[in-house]
Amino acid sequence: MQRLLSLIPVLIFAAVSTALGLSLSNDPRKLPSMLIDKPTPIFALASLEEGGSGLSSDDLKGRIVLLNVFASWCAGCRIEHPMLMALAENSGIPIYGVSWKDERASGARWLKANRSPYVRVGDDQSGRLGIDLGVTGVPETFVIDRTGRIRYRHAGPITDDVWQETFAPLLAELRTERP
Q: Is the pLDDT of residue 15 over 80?
A: no
Q: Is the residue at 41 inside a domain?
A: yes
Can you give the CATH number for the domain in which 158 is found?
3.40.30.10
Instruction: State the DSSP code for 60.
Output: G
Residue 26: is its pLDDT beyond 50? no
Domain containing 93 equals 27-176
Q: Is residue 15 part of a domain?
A: no
Give every CB contact of residue 145 below 8 A, 6+ residues apart in sequence. 64, 151, 174, 177, 179
Is the pLDDT score of 71 beyond 50? yes
| Three-state DSSP state, 82 | helix
Q: Does residue 17 fall inside a structural domain?
A: no
Q: Is residue 148 part of a domain?
A: yes
Q: What is the mean pLDDT of residues 31-46?
A: 89
pLDDT for res 8 = 67
| Over residues 55-74, mean pLDDT | 97
The verdict on residue 117 lying in a domain is yes
What is the overall mean pLDDT for the chain?
89
Residue 99's identity, in one-letter code, is S
- Note the pLDDT tens digit of each residue in 147-157: 999 999 999 99
- What pLDDT score does 178 carry? 80
Mean pLDDT across 49-73: 95
Number of domains comprising the chain: 1
For 161, phi and psi rounded to 5 degrees?
Answer: -60, -45
- Give the whole-angstrom CA distance, residue 71 versus residue 78: 9
**12 is a domain residue:** no
pLDDT in tens, 75-96: 999 999 999 999 999 999 999 9
How high is the pLDDT of residue 28?
46
Classify residue 33: in a domain, yes or no. Answer: yes
**38 domain-assigned:** yes
Is the model more confident about 179 or about 51?
Answer: 51
CB atoms inside a 10 Å sphere around CB 172: 9
**Beta carbons within 8 Å of 79's beta carbon, 6+ residues apart:** 157, 159
Whole-number Cα distances in Å, 160 to 45, 152, 166, 169, 176: 30, 17, 10, 13, 23
DSSP state, 58?
G
